Amino acid sequence: MSSLKPVRGAHDILPEESPKYRLVENIAHEIASRYGFKEISTPIFESTEVFARTLGDTSDIVTKEMYTFNDRGGDSITLRPENTAGVARALISNGLAQQLPLKLFYRGPMFRYERPQKGRLRQFHQVGVELLGVSQVLADIEVIALGAHFLKALGVADKTTLELNTLGDGESRAAYRDKLVEYLKGRKGELSKESLERLERNPLRILDSKDRGDRAVIAEAPLIAGSLNLESRLMFDELRKGLDAAGVAYAVNPHLVRGLDYYCHAAFEFTTGELGAQGAVLAGGRYDGLIKQMGGPATPGTGWAAGVERLTMLIGEMAEPRRPIAVVPIGDGQTGQALALTQQLRQAGLTIDLGYSGNMEKRMKRANKVNACAAVILGEDELSRNAATVRNMKTGEQVEVLLPSLPDHLTRYN
């Protein structure tokens, strides 16, 4: 017999796990809707250029983690490693710049070739929001407040901490780049081969390195706070005052950075200490240069993405699913009536299980197996009186109920 297994890094979401996934996605959608965000769904694969141009050919995602292949037409296609670039592409290709500002919510699977571990898979799921077309700090405040509200509604806010920093504007980042390069050149002998290449092409991406030696060097690197101009400092002050006014608690983390060029100003992460190394459960920031870099009009943007798998791991025990009511025909002659009654009860909003075959004893065993709270027994005598016998599966008590009254009677169980 073949021992087929999921591809390494992929995961079957079994029926007992699905409720947590749906809970995360549905609460995220509900809270985002309250803030005026509308759902967008982009393809799970894009032209490779969408990600190569935005994430950069020196980023870990592009060089190590993307699932890229040529399709039958010879075009280079990539399974999406993240969704912000896809949303930005959708804005450009659908002419949505005429509808700015846009508040968009998304959910779905992403794909990265990473070493699988707790909280990190090669096919994983995200929910996220993007607010496009607003340069004011109020947009950042709103998306961060939305993220905090979502985590609170999910019941995991007390397990997370909001870490906040600023990346400054282009002028500030250029000044920081000069300081960073000067520092890194003094420690070239400690950098990995990849970081030495990035030092010449894009030194800020060294800040994203996962190499242990690089991380030790980065830990002692100058902080961007020392390179901020007045405008950038004022925007960060405004961000913090806005979060204070919104009642969103945070901790400033001067080491929190984004190595990609299109990020600026606000950077934030909601982190937890309960998932080991994979501590970030929701992260985002401002990316005013992204859409222009992709060939579209200069469009400010800010947003975040949250890992569904990591959030499901933080959720406590969920309430038991609604127990079904079993419909049990005593003989084959009652199968037709049982089927008609089952559909009627389901359309009345009740959860109904109908066994497919077997005598009454076997069908009652199935009722116990599916954890039915009640059984509707259909015998020839009962049906001749236009009635059914309802058995309480916990107490064994039975009562005869007329069929027209059955939906109302069963609501006490379901």
Sequence spans of domains, the chain: 18-169+229-314, 325-410
Residue 61 DSSP one-character state: I
Determine which helix (DSSP H) or strand (DSSP E) holds 148, and give its type and residue range: helix 137-154
Find, among 229, 232, 238, the residue nearest to 263 by Cα. Answer: 232
> Rounded to whole angstroms, how far apart are CA atoms 126 and 304?
10
Among 129-133, 168-172, 350-354, the range with the most confident prediction by mean pLDDT is 129-133
Output the pLDDT for position 375. 93
Output the pLDDT for position 61. 64
Output the pLDDT for position 332. 72
pLDDT digits (tens, 9 = 90+) for 331-350: 777 888 889 999 999 999 99
Determine which helix (DSSP H) or strand (DSSP E) holds 401, and give its type and residue range: strand 398-402
- Dihedral angle of Cα 172, 175, 176, 181, to the nearest 10 degrees: 160
pLDDT digits (tens, 9 = 90+) for 76-125: 999 999 999 999 999 999 999 999 999 999 999 999 998 877 777 899 99
Find, among 27, 29, 47, the residue nearest to 38 by Cα. Answer: 29
pLDDT band at 62 (very low <50, low <70, confident <90, very high): low
CATH of 325-410, one of 2.40.50.90, 3.90.870.10, 3.40.50.170, 3.40.50.800: 3.40.50.800
Find, among 132, 144, 29, 33, the residue nearest to 88 by Cα. Answer: 132
pLDDT digits (tens, 9 = 90+) for 380-391: 888 889 999 999
pTM (2 d.p.): 0.88
pLDDT band at 275 (very low <50, low <70, confident <90, very high): confident
pLDDT digits (tens, 9 = 90+) for 125-140: 999 999 999 999 999 9
Find, among 411, 324, 339, the residue nearest to 373 by Cα. Answer: 324
> Rounded to whole angstroms, how far apart are CA atoms 405 and 387?
9
Whether residue 50 contacts residue 154, with contact meaning beta carbons closer than 8 Å, is answered with: no
- State the average pLDDT over residues 187-207: 86
pLDDT band at 1 (very low <50, low <70, confident <90, very high): very low
For 265-288, letters b (16+ CB in 10 Å) and e give: bbbbbbbbeebeebbbbbbbbbbb
- State the average pLDDT over residues 57-84: 84
| Residue 308 Cα to chain centre, angstroms | 4
Whether residue 90 contacts residue 102, with contact meaning beta carbons closer than 8 Å, is answered with: no
Strand 374-378 relative to strand 45-47, pairing: unpaired
- Residue 305: beta bridge partners? 128, 283
Residue 363 has pLDDT above 60, yes or no: yes
User: What class, spelled out in words, does domain 18-169+229-314 have in CATH?
Assistant: alpha beta
Residue 28 has pLDDT above 90, yes or no: yes
> Rounded to whole angstroms, how far apart are CA atoms 26 and 56?
33
- Dihedral angle of Cα 175, 178, 181, 183, to the nearest 10 degrees: -80
Find, among 259, 266, 306, the residue nearest to 286 by Cα. Answer: 266
CA distances from 23 to 41, 73, 124, 188, 290 (A): 19, 39, 16, 48, 31
Whether residue 180 contacts residue 220, with contact meaning beta carbons closer than 8 Å, is answered with: no
pLDDT digits (tens, 9 = 90+) for 217-269: 988 999 999 999 999 999 999 999 999 999 999 999 988 887 676 789 999 99
pLDDT band at 398 (very low <50, low <70, confident <90, very high): very high
How many C-alpha atoms does 162 have within 13 Å on its Cβ side? 26
> Rounded to whole angstroms, how far apart are CA atoms 216 and 288?
30
Percent pLDDT > 70 in the chain is 96
Q: Which residues contact 370 (CB under 8 A, 6 or more apart)?
A: 324, 326, 353
pLDDT band at 303 (very low <50, low <70, confident <90, very high): very high
Token code pair at residue 4? 């087929």
**Number of residues assigned to the chain:** 414
- State the average pLDDT over residues 260-280: 86
Strand 102-111 relative to strand 38-39, pairing: parallel
Output the pLDDT for position 201. 79
Find, among 360, 365, 361, the residue nearest to 329 by Cα. Answer: 360
Q: For residue 319, give the 3-state DSSP assignment.
A: coil
Residue 60 has pLDDT above 80, yes or no: no
Amino acid found at 181: V
> Rounded to whole angstroms, how far apart are CA atoms 353 and 330?
15
Q: Which residues contact 411 (CB under 8 A, 6 or more apart)?
A: 350
Average pLDDT of every residue of the chain: 91
Q: What is the maximal distance between C-alpha atoms in the chain?
A: 94
Output the pLDDT for position 97. 92
